[in-house]
Amino acid sequence: MHDLAQRLGVSVTTVSRALQDHHSIGRKTKDSVKKLADELGYQRNSMAAALRKKKSNTIGVIVPQIARPFISSMISGIEQVANEAGFSVLISQSSDLYQKEVKHASSLYSSDVDGLIVSLAMETQNYDHFSPFLDHDVPVVMVDRVTEKLEVDKVIINNFSAAFQATEHLIASGYRRIAHMGGAAHRNIYRERKKGYLAALQKHGLVTEEALITDTILSIDAGIESTRRLMNLANPPDAIFAANDTTAVQSILYLQELGIDVPQEVGVVGFNNDPISVIVQPNLTTVSHPADEMGIAAAKQLVDKIDGERRGIETITIETELIVRDSSTKRSTNPAEKSTKGLISRDVQNVQNII
């Protein structure tokens, strides 16, 4: 900038203003400044600007794991909105570890991010690491894995009602002994899903046995192991409602290994609408969990607050939808109805990003 100013015989102030289209600078001056800047390949130093303005035009994101379909779609949504609004995105993953989340929070804070989007680690139960942000009025938005212990903006889905609906669907499909493969109980999304499941059973007067419920980390192995345990029960379930698609799909595959027909003998419903849900045969009935929409909503919420266009705390609830596919609907035994023999069912339209 000094260079530009000298060459043009004006002050750095003028250059700075011209580059920012400040109203008090003449057309001619602006044009000449911009022209020379272009020619010399001048690139504004955002560090210095950030330091002076105390605004970095950067938002921080902390997620449990980047490499999950749900999370990466969410990040993608965040990135789009943020970039349109002129923000860069600083990303970090906690690997579901509390310690890492704390470290990242502190590092992002001292990077002077203008705002923070968080989806909590599975482990996290203490939230003091977010205090610096709250104390210094740096906006925070929590997405999906949130906590009621912090008064911040949130973007969530109605896990209770989604789970309730999913379970009722199984009941309506004729299943009676329904198991639930759930996640860590202190993470409210899993707690809510379990509650919704229990509420549906109760409404219809069905058994709610502890033995029919597993609490795991919802990994591949956990899916196989939980299914094994459930099917080894003296009185095994005739349906499984899993808190994510990963475990649901593993259930289907494992049941098939056991020679058990899905959905004829055991029905399965998942959660998330991951790509795999339309690849597995039979296609998995699941709950759409619009990750990109959630990311977009969170980023918008954050940007609006940073730009001062919004005050106060709000929680946005994104709509989900039960997507009924073949893993939970018994085929008709009426020979009059036409079967789909030869035709494998597919439902490519509804699935989340899959490329």
Partner DNA sequence: TTGTAAGCGTTATCAT
Partner DNA sequence: ATGATAACGCTTACAA
Count the residues of the shown chain that bind DNA, applying the rule CB under 7 A.
28
Q: Which stretch binds its own copies (CB under 8 A): 104-112, 118-126, 138-146, 298-306?
A: 104-112
- Other Cβ atoms less than 10 A from the Cβ of 182: the count is 26
DSSP letter at 47? H
Given its own copies, DNA, none, residue 10, with its beta carbon under 5 to 8 Å by kind, binds DNA
Confirm or reject binding of residue 291 to DNA (CB under 7 A): no
Given its own copies, DNA, none, residue 202, with its beta carbon under 5 to 8 Å by kind, binds none
Of residues 137, 133, 126, 87, the one with CA closest to residue 106: 133
- Other Cβ atoms less than 10 A from the Cβ of 119: the count is 26
Residue from 9, 148, 210, 259 touching its own copies (CB under 8 A): that is 259
Query: What is the distance between the terminal CA atoms of the chain, rounded to a whole angstrom?
Result: 45
Residue from 23, 136, 338, 341 touching DNA (CB under 7 A): that is 23
Given its own copies, DNA, none, residue 56, with its beta carbon under 5 to 8 Å by kind, binds its own copies
Given DNA, its own copies, none, residue 107, with its beta carbon under 5 to 8 Å by kind, binds its own copies
Q: Which two tokens stand for residue 86?
A: 């002129």
What is each CA distance from 63 to 91, 117, 219, 341, in whole angstroms?
Answer: 8, 8, 17, 43
Contact between residue 1 and residue 17 where contact means Cβ atoms under 8 Å apart: no
Residue from 12, 40, 47, 207 touching its own copies (CB under 8 A): that is 47
Confirm or reject binding of residue 111 to DNA (CB under 7 A): no
Contact between residue 290 and residue 283 where contact means Cβ atoms under 8 Å apart: no
By three-state DSSP, how is residue 238 classified?
A: coil
Q: Which residue number, 201 or 262, has a Cβ lying nearer to its own copies?
A: 262
Cβ 109 to its own copies shortest distance, Å:
6
Given DNA, its own copies, none, residue 9, with its beta carbon under 5 to 8 Å by kind, binds DNA
Contact between residue 254 and residue 227 where contact means Cβ atoms under 8 Å apart: yes
Cβ 90 to DNA shortest distance, Å:
18
What is each CA distance from 29 to 6, 22, 90, in whole angstroms?
Answer: 14, 11, 36
Q: Which amino acid is at 265?
A: E
Q: Which stretch binds its own copies (CB under 8 A): 119-127, 178-186, 196-204, 342-350?
A: 342-350
Q: Which of residues 49-88 bind DNA (CB under 7 A)?
A: 49, 51-54
Please give the Cα distance from 326 to 231 (Å, whole number). 21
Q: Which residues bind to DNA, rule: CB under 7 A?
A: 1-2, 9-14, 16-17, 19-20, 23-26, 28-29, 42-45, 48-49, 51-54
